[in-house]
Chains A and B, each alone.
Chain A
Amino acid sequence: MNELAITVIGRDRPGIVADVAEVLARLGANLTDSTMTRLRGHFAMTLICTGPAAAEVEAALAPLAAEGQLLATVRAVTPDGEVPPVGEPYVMAVHGSDRMGIVAAMTRVLVDAGGNVTDLSTRLAGSLYVVLAEVELPAGVADTLVDRLHRTAAELGVEVTLRPADPDLL
């Protein structure tokens, strides 16, 4: 079974999801994991699909992209690319004045502690920049990691908190 990684991004308008999903459905591409959201007026889709060959999907999406408002890429990827969890889930929140390199510096601290970022979003609201990252951390590193995050945040002039992700199971 082919597994495809597809990205579609373009100026937001009603109908992008329906248009792209319709193309995929017509080709028998099964849309598995995806995220779709609006980022500062652009609509962005990241999709994993199984089914047809990459070239076939690329050709089918081409008419949508041809209008010049959407950019679509299709790549065949290796299936079963799941990474086993490295430990416990945490949420890192960073906020402060917008400047270059906040995501780079803060995520590097997480990686250097053996952490794996599994989800991340950023928001720019006026001059306020917010980074929210979900990260898996090896057992026992959180306390020392907090100190390192605070040092790096202080160098950047931003605030950081690291908390265990809500473990509620119902």
Chain B
Amino acid sequence: MTGAQESGPDAEAYAGLGDWTPESLVVPGEVRAVVSAPHPVLSRAADEVDPTAKETVQLAADLVATMRVSPGCVGLAAPQVGVGARVFAVDVTGHPKAVTLHGTFVLCNARVVEATRWKAGREGCMSVPDLTGDVKRASRLVVEGDLPGTGKPVRLVTDGFEARALQHEIDHCAGLLFLDRVAGAHAVYQRKVYL
């Protein structure tokens, strides 16, 4: 499942996802309620977490469980389930726009370290269910973060739709919605298609 090769200046300190799967967390995930804007938790910069802490591991499992029961959901950040923690789950498997993909994974304390090849694209969000918007994102991305459970530092190199999903979720952890990044006065649309 691993896509582009993980490399770069900190390649020794940051490995790839390896054989990590949500099942590595051992605990079963529970589906949590998703909050919608204008809930204040969505506009607050979330806190760093201890990726090995029991509550972080449970949160990671819950994010995956909630993402899996939500049709069309390719990513879910902790603020979206009302928790101000820098944790998110992503899975773009099977999405027609995905090129490189890393399957289902959860990252803690993730940050963008390289972002290039900016492209506009239409985004929606489970927490802004009635609107979509045109947002410019890097289509080539390097992200570093920690795996929940082991706390192992990882580096992901990705592109296209998975890169967009990662930036969207990292924004959630910074208290930003896609609405904060839309291109202009006419770049937000009433959502017409529901899955």
A165 neighbours in B (Cβ, 8 Å) = 183-184
A159 neighbours in B (Cβ, 8 Å) = 38, 43, 180
B182 neighbours in A (Cβ, 8 Å) = 91, 93, 132
Tell which of A97, A119, A161, A166 touches B180, judged by Cβ atoms closer than 8 Å.
A161
A51 within 8 A of B: no
Size category, B interface: 20 to 34
Interface digits, A108-130 against B, CB 8 Å rule (1 contact, 0 not)?
Answer: 00000000000111010111111
B99 within 8 A of A: no
Contact between chains at A126 and B186 (CB < 8 Å):
no
When A130-B179, A132-B187 are in contact, do A97 and B38 touch as well, CB less than 8 Å? yes
Contact between chains at A128 and B38 (CB < 8 Å):
yes
B83 within 8 A of A: no
Interface digits, B132-151 against A, CB 8 Å rule (1 contact, 0 not)?
Answer: 00001000000000000000
Contact between chains at B128 and A121 (CB < 8 Å):
no
A129 neighbours in B (Cβ, 8 Å) = 38
Q: How many residues of A contact B (CB 8 A)?
A: 24
A91–B181 Cα distance when bound, in Å, is 9
A126–B127 Cα distance when bound, in Å, is 12
Contact between chains at A119 and B36 (CB < 8 Å):
no
- Interface of A (DSSP majority class): strand
A91–B185 Cα distance when bound, in Å, is 7
B5 within 8 A of A: no
A143–B181 Cα distance when bound, in Å, is 18
A163–B186 Cα distance when bound, in Å, is 15
Chain A nearest Cβ from B170, distance in angstroms: 16
A166–B181 Cα distance when bound, in Å, is 11
B37 within 8 A of A: yes
A161–B135 Cα distance when bound, in Å, is 14
When A125-B128, A132-B185 are in contact, do A93 and B38 touch as well, CB less than 8 Å? no
For the complex of A and B, 3 pairs with smallest distance between CB atoms: A125-B130, A119-B185, A161-B180
B residues sitting closer than 8 Å to A (CB atoms) are 36-38, 43, 128-131, 136, 176-177, 179-188, 190
